[in-house]
Structure 1
């Protein structure tokens, strides 16, 4: 059988999902909303998924620039960036649009420099909002004006469902950043000689081994063929994770 390979270059799209369990998972139902913004009962979620992405390929496909897109900055992004922190269910479904509460911009002002660097906008698209565009949307409208436009609309949909494990907006973004720094995938791969390159190709097995060696867990690695790939197959792998608060565990 041919060995699966991954070309770690700017043209390949990699989405790395690290599944995080919260042993003190939310107790009881929370409030969700349907497509029309009507409130519904929402069952507690089972775990968090921290999704990280390699921005090079996304930026390579960008057709136009705007001031809010990190793809248009003079220095190209050269590390995995945060794609999202999502509450999920074990059955493959997920909660969305759970809470509609007011937000104070001051709550995350101290996090803005790190968010702009490690959770940047990669597009110029407009956000989609829950609850008919009321309440907590203020955070996303603010972040849109601060170079974080494309990633956070999805967190509007998913991030509001992290309550009551994560109680407010500051805690939500702070936890995401803490996990990002704790499981530094860019550094982990670099330490094993796996670097972004326009020429080098790495086996999926080597990538799995490098991450498992560092964190004791298997990654869910999704690689999609881009314009610059050498015919390498897409691949998917899952994480092995231990069952303690905000630590990796195996979901398969």
Structure 2
């Protein structure tokens, strides 16, 4: 004859069952929240500005410049950054104060970064401070899409795909100190890339408006060039700008 289970054992079994159900529900809730957080994080910005800088304009100012410890950079546009942005014109920055630039994570990219993403700031350096600034201010805001290695690799690949100097030279626009109409420069880049760039200028010691930076918009996966949802508010150019030598 089967003996009845003591009430205490019934209670203990019920408690274990209830605890198990609660744990399962908690696990499901955590998983759901994690997926939700990932989805939200992936939509935390709308697009990238991919910004390339003309070194001759950077150096031809009162502040001048310092060549990196690896020597004078090539006569070519260099990467300034890959910057997450919102469609309303604002942008996120310094999104993860615990995520620091780690040179070892991009060790296989360093030679490419030195060629295509050189520093011109003074005092001269090897590029690490520049890359650290770009990662910590901008790159950390795209970590849901691009980890540190892929952030830098994506920018380097974009530089190869969106090479500006050959585009301009093929249109007869050369870095020879001459002046060119802003519409001609913008038109040459748009004809080559299919999308309208934003041109930023600076002013040299003599007061000339110079071709300084070119912004091209990239989708929020860092994959495709797109029409800019909103244009930057940086330094605008005169109708005619100088393209200084370097």
TM-score bracket for this pair, using the shorter chain length? 0.5 to 0.7
State the shift of 1:105 in Å. Answer: 3.3
* Change in CA separation of 1:63 and 1:248 when aligned onto 2, cut-off 3 Å: same
Query: Could you say which residue in structure 2 is the equivalent of 1:215?
Result: 193
Determine the C-alpha separation between the residues in 2 that align with 1:234 and 1:119: 18
- Of residues 155, 168, 191 in structure 2, which corresponds to 1:176? 155
Please tell me the root mean square deviation across aligned C-alpha atoms, in Å.
3.4
Task: Give the 3-state SS of the residue equivalent to 2:129 in structure 1.
Answer: coil
Q: Which consecutive residues of structure 1, in runs of 5 or more, have no partner in the other structure?
A: 1-25, 31-42, 126-143
Query: Could you say which residue in structure 1 is the equivalent of 2:138?
Result: 158
Query: Could you say which residue in structure 2 is the equivalent of 1:57?
Result: 57
Given that residues 49 and 83 in structure 2 are in contact (C-alpha distance below 8 angstroms), is that contact kept between their aligned partners in structure 1? yes
Query: Could you say which residue in structure 2 is the equivalent of 1:27?
Result: 39
Task: Give the 3-state SS of the residue equivalent to 2:172 in structure 1.
Answer: coil
Given that residues 238 and 251 in structure 1 are in contact (C-alpha distance below 8 angstroms), is that contact kept between their aligned partners in structure 2? no
How many correspondences in the alignment? 191
Given that residues 45 and 87 in structure 1 are in contact (C-alpha distance below 8 angstroms), is that contact kept between their aligned partners in structure 2? yes
Task: Give the 3-state SS of the residue equivalent to 1:27 in structure 2.
Answer: helix
Query: Could you say which residue in structure 2 is the equivalent of 1:249?
Result: 227
Q: TM-score under structure 1 normalisation?
A: 0.64
Determine the C-alpha separation between the residues in 2 that align with 1:95 and 1:50: 15
Q: TM-score under structure 2 normalisation?
A: 0.65
Kindly provide the CA deviation profile for residues 174-210 of structure 1, in whole angstroms up to 9, marking residues without a partner as x.
0000111111011110111111012x21111111111
Question: Does 1 or 2 have the higher relative contact order (CA < 8 Å, sep 6+)?
Answer: 1
Task: Give the 3-state SS of the residue equivalent to 2:152 in structure 1.
Answer: helix
> Which of structures 1 and 2 has the bigger CA Rg?
2
Determine the C-alpha separation between the residues in 1 that align with 2:121 and 2:181: 30
